[in-house]
Amino acid sequence: MLLFHAVRIMPRPSFLARPIGRQTIASVLPGVLLAVAGAATAADSNVAARAERILATTPLIDAHNDLPWELRNRTKGALASIDLRSETTKLPVPEGGAPLMTDIPRLRAGHVGGQFWSVWVPTELKGNDAVQATLEQIDLVKRMVAMYPADLQMAYTAADVRRIHRSGKIASLIGVEGGHQVNNSLATLRMFYDLGARYMTLTHTRNTDWVDSATDTPAHHGLTPFGAEIVREMNRLGMLVDLSHVSPAAMKAVLAVTEAPVIFSHSSARAINSHPRNVPDDVLRLVANNGGVVMVNFYPAYISEAANQWEADYAAEHTRYNSPPYAGLYIGQPEKAKAALEAWEKAHPKPIVTLAEVADHIEHIRKVAGIDHVGIGSDFDGIPAGPQGLEAVDRYPALLEEMMRRGWPDADVAKLAGLNILRVMEQAQQVAARLQATRPPSEALLQAEPQP
């Protein structure tokens, strides 16, 4: 069909102006095919050149990459044992892990201009342990950046990002991925900001004492009064409020409180895939009113409804065969359980998710919220695999080229690539400057909620 449509829309060649025989058609058809192929190649070359031009002056900014935790896991903090100046695809893969998606050669190939490095720590870490681990992750990011001064440089403002990009380096920023990491302490929040954290995701996979997660049983009707105080203090500091991972009720509650634009550092559109980690349309419209930006996540289960269903079915099968300590058909028989799960996978192939499906989420967010409110938040090295065509950090230009093929003008592609998140950062700093002139640091404390 592609060939049929491609040939149909070409200008009518002069040789078709008169009847010709079967032999003549056979002699000219290869030329027509070559012309079609040549036109396609020229079109691809054109979008590639356009993307190159945009990224020469616009920093491509990814709002979420989990390489720091992968480095902690694999090296125990001994960063010199992995050379990020070499491609990391051939490094040994830990059991149950995946090949690294990030290294400097591929960041360069992907024309990355700015990267928010996530300083996530597991929700199982509580209290002071979570605070300490976060400090260690901030230290890890700064040591990683210092190890590669020819390529990476720390950034703390939008102006820093622009300046570092012009210098030919990759601006490195820090995002805290989970409100549990401040241990209910506004003082800790302020210290994280002073150390360089420029956003905080209010939850991860579990509720905190003051805000509900999208993937936990609601406990706070979205946001508590102390949670609102956290948001106000983040506004005063100039720290971006990140609503990825929070429940829809929490999203709406925060948007009613915040005085600065918010971000979703790595979330997609719930209208396309109903996964709870994605953003509903009514919230997308509120984000537009707020001036914020939704940075589209690449995780296949958040992108594709079919992949989301497959993941759920796989998890159910895994539990059915081996769910310690009391249940499971093959409990205590790991080889049997492994063989049964492999047989299930063979009978139920994992759906293939593509770059085009990521582009569909971007298109939807632009349609509902507007072009000023969409960006990129890959979640690379925090996901087991990317979509086909977006496997690692070298593939960002391919996504921009896809948007161009869909008719996006260069100005809109530049907003997607980085201008939208830069605007949000600048506006958050303007709000902070205003609030700091009139509002002292908050001394609020978490109060026990009244029991029903």
117, 67 Cβ separation under 8 angstroms? yes
Structure-block tokens of residue 267: 């979330």
Which of 62, 66, 103, 229 is catalytic? The answer is 66
Catalytic residue among 220, 245, 275, 373: 245
Residue type, 429: Q
**Residue 266: active-site member:** yes
Residue from 165, 220, 266, 373 carrying the catalytic annotation: 266
Which amino acid makes up residue 241?
A: V
What gap in Å lies between CA 90 and CA 399, rounded to an integer? 25
HSE-up of 325 (CA within 13 Å, CB side)?
0
Token pair of 179 as six digits: 């409100």
Do 366 and 294 meet the contact criterion of CB atoms below 8 Å apart? no
Q: Is 245 designated active site?
A: yes
Match 């960006």 to its residue by tokens.
Answer: 375
Q: Which residues contact 75 (CB under 8 A, 6 or more apart)?
A: 81, 82
Give the active site residue among 62, 160, 177, 381. Answer: 177
Integer-rounded Cα Rg, in Å, for the chain is 24
Q: What residues contact 330, with CB distance under 8 A and at least 6 apart?
A: 321, 322, 336, 337, 340
The residues pairing with 62 across neighbouring beta strands, listed in sequence order, are 115, 376
Q: Burial letters for 72-97: b for 16+ Cβ neighbours within 10 Å, e otherwise? A: bebeeeebeebebeebbeeeeeeeee
Distance CA 245, CA 224 (A): 16
Contact (CB, 8 A) for 211 and 222? yes
DSSP per-residue letters across 247-264: -HHHHHHHHHH-SS--EE
Which one of 165, 204, 364, 373 is the catalytic residue?
Answer: 204
Distance CA 346, CA 368 (A): 39
CA distance linking residue 149 with residue 147, whole number of Å? 6
State the Cα–Cα distance between residues 264 and 332, nearest whole angstrom. 42
Annotated catalytic residue: which of 357, 360, 379, 394?
379
Residue 294 token pair: 């939704």
The one-letter amino acid code at 114 reads: G
Q: Assess whether 83 carries a catalytic annotation.
A: no
Q: Is 64 a catalytic residue?
A: yes
Active site residue 180: no
C-beta atoms surrounding 426 within 10 Å = 14
Q: Which residues contact residue 28 at a Cβ distance below 8 angstroms, ignoring those fewer than 6 apart?
A: 13, 15
**Residue 260 bridge partners (DSSP):** none
Active site residues: 64, 66, 177, 204, 245, 266, 379
